[in-house]
Structure 1
Amino acid sequence: MSAVSFSKENGVAYITLNRPDKYNSFNREMALLLQQHLDTCATDDEIRCVYLTGAGKGFCSGQDLSEAMNPSPEDFERMVTEHYNATILRIRNIEKPVIAAVNGVAAGAGANIALACDIVLAAESASFIQAFSKIGLIPDSGGTWFLPRLVGLQRAAALMMTGDKVTAAEAVAMGMIYRAYADDQFEAETRKMAATLAQMPTKGLGLTKRLLNRTFEHGIEQQLDMEKEVQVQAGSSYDFREGVQAFLEKRKPVFKGK
Structure 2
Amino acid sequence: MVLQIEDRDRVRTLTLDRPEALNAFNEALYDATTEALRAAADDPAVAVVLLTGSGRGFSAGTDLLEMHARATDPDFVPGEHGFLGLVDALVDFQKPLVCAVNGVGLGIGATILGFADLAFMSSTARLKCPFTSLGVAPEAASSYLLPRLVGRQDAAWVLLSAEWISADEALAMGLVWRVCAPDDLLAEARRHAEALAARPISSLMAVKRTMTEPLRAGIAEARQRENAAFAELMGGPANIEALTAFAEGREPDFTTLPPGW
Q: TM-score range by the shorter chain?
A: 0.7 to 0.9
Q: Any conservation in 2 of the 1:109–1:139 contact (CA below 8 Å)?
A: no
Q: Secondary structure at the match of 2:13?
A: strand
Distance in structure 2 (CA, Å) of the matches to 1:61 and 1:70: 17
Amino acid at match of 2:143: T
Distance in structure 1 (CA, Å) of the matches to 2:4 and 2:206: 28
Q: CA deviation at 1:184?
A: 2.0
Per-residue CA distance 1:108-148 (angstroms, 9 max, x = gap): 11111233221111111111111111111112122212211
Q: CA deviation at 1:171?
A: 0.9
Distance in structure 2 (CA, Å) of the matches to 1:186 and 1:130: 22
Q: Secondary structure at the match of 1:121?
A: strand
Q: Any conservation in 2 of the 1:133–1:162 contact (CA below 8 Å)?
A: yes
Report the counterpart of residue 12 of structure 1 in structure 2.
Answer: 11
Report the counterpart of residue 85 of structure 1 in structure 2.
Answer: 84
Report the counterpart of residue 96 of structure 2 in structure 1.
Answer: 97
Q: How does 1:117-156 map to 2 (within 5 A)?
A: 117-156=116-155
Distance in structure 2 (CA, Å) of the matches to 1:201 and 1:74: 49
Report the counterpart of residue 50 of structure 2 in structure 1.
Answer: 51
Report the counterpart of residue 23 of structure 1 in structure 2.
Answer: 22
Q: Which moved more, 1:13-22 or 1:153-162?
A: 153-162
Amino acid at match of 1:96: K
1:34 paired to 2:62: no
Per-residue CA distance 1:81-126 (angstroms, 9 max, x = gap): 9422321232232221110111011111111123322111111111
Q: Secondary structure at the match of 2:132?
A: helix
TM-score, normalised by the number of residues in structure 2: 0.76
Q: How does 1:71-220 map to 2 (within 5 A)?
A: 71-72=70-71, 82-216=81-215
Amino acid at match of 2:126: S
Q: CA deviation at 1:207?
A: 1.3
Structure 2 unpaired stretches of 5+: 218-261
Amino acid at match of 1:205: L
Q: Secondary structure at the match of 1:158?
A: helix
Q: Which moved more, 1:180-189 or 1:52-61?
A: 180-189
Per-residue CA distance 1:21-65 (angstroms, 9 max, x = gap): 100001000000111111110111111110000000110010111
Distance in structure 2 (CA, Å) of the matches to 1:74 and 1:177: 38
Structure-2 change in CA distance of 1:160 and 1:36 (3 Å): same
> In terms of Rg, which structure is larger?
1
Structure with the bigger RCO (C-alpha within 8 Å, sep 6+) is 2
Q: Any conservation in 2 of the 1:3–1:17 contact (CA below 8 Å)?
A: yes
Structure-2 change in CA distance of 1:27 and 1:70 (3 Å): closer
Structure-2 change in CA distance of 1:13 and 1:140 (3 Å): same
Distance in structure 1 (CA, Å) of the matches to 2:155 and 2:64: 24
TM-score, normalised by the number of residues in structure 1: 0.77
Paired residue total: 215
Structure-2 change in CA distance of 1:80 and 1:29 (3 Å): closer
Q: Any conservation in 2 of the 1:115–1:177 contact (CA below 8 Å)?
A: no
Amino acid at match of 1:158: W
Structure 1 unpaired stretches of 5+: 219-258
Distance in structure 1 (CA, Å) of the matches to 2:206 and 2:100: 23
1:62 paired to 2:93: no
| Cα root mean square deviation, aligned | 2.2
